[in-house]
Amino acid sequence: MVIKIVAATRYLIVIPVLGLALAAAYLFIAGGFGMIGFIFENIAHPPEIEGSLVLSTIEVVEFVHQFLIGTVLYITAVGLYQLFIQEIRIPNWLKINSTEELETNLIGVTVVVLAVNFLSVVFAGKQIDLLNYGAGIALPIAALALFIGLRTRITKAGRESEYKQSEEAQKGDST
């Protein structure tokens, strides 16, 4: 009885999955309509100030940033659902088979979000110390890359060790 109850608790993951999916949908819808409105506004009333292209680029980059955050939320929702509930028919590149794969996907998109953040600051031409700001973004990216690299190496070594052990066990069984 206790085992069944504990096993059923995996369905609690539906709560954060729904929350993440709704948040992603909100970002996609609000960002999509915002971007469409922005495009129509610029077509109907083109800005006549100097540097308006830079202003337009900043706003477009901010919409892209919003879509990327929505993508992170969506990938997390789908990944958690696949890991805890059941497989979903989705493209192979979006299939998640372990928490490690989910983390790797999230880290990849997070790096892109950080880069977009940096670009929006660069395009805005704000009077900040870009070197310190860029370093503040680059250091977490480097740490995440190191984390992924080390974890991949450790996981690969563990799999190779398991493979060698199973080969040795098979050889021992056949003699």
Global pTM? Answer: 0.69
Pair 61, 116: CB distance under 8 Å: yes
Whether pLDDT at 175 is above 60: no
The rounded mean pLDDT for the chain is 83
Burial state string for 38-51 with b = 16 or more CB within 10 A and e = fewer than 16: eeeeeeeeeeeeee
Ranges of each domain in the chain: 2-126, 128-175
Residue 95: predicted pLDDT: 81
Q: What percent of the chain is modeled with pLDDT above 90?
A: 19
Residue 33: predicted pLDDT: 96
Residue type for 152, please?
Answer: T
User: What are the residues whose beta carbons fall under 8 Å from the beta carbon of 7, sequence distance 6 or more?
Assistant: none
Whether pLDDT at 52 is above 70: no
Give the model confidence (pLDDT) of 20-45 as tens digits: 999 999 999 999 999 999 988 888 88
- CA separation for the pair 49, 125 (Å, rounded): 16
Pair 80, 18: CB distance under 8 Å: no
| DSSP code string of 6-45 | HHHGGGGGHHHHHHHHHHHHHHHHHHHHHHHHHHHHHHHS
User: What are the residues whose beta carbons fall under 8 Å from the beta carbon of 155, sequence distance 6 or more?
Assistant: 100
Q: Residue 113's pLDDT band (boundaries 50, 70, 90)?
A: confident
Q: Residue 174's pLDDT band (boundaries 50, 70, 90)?
A: low
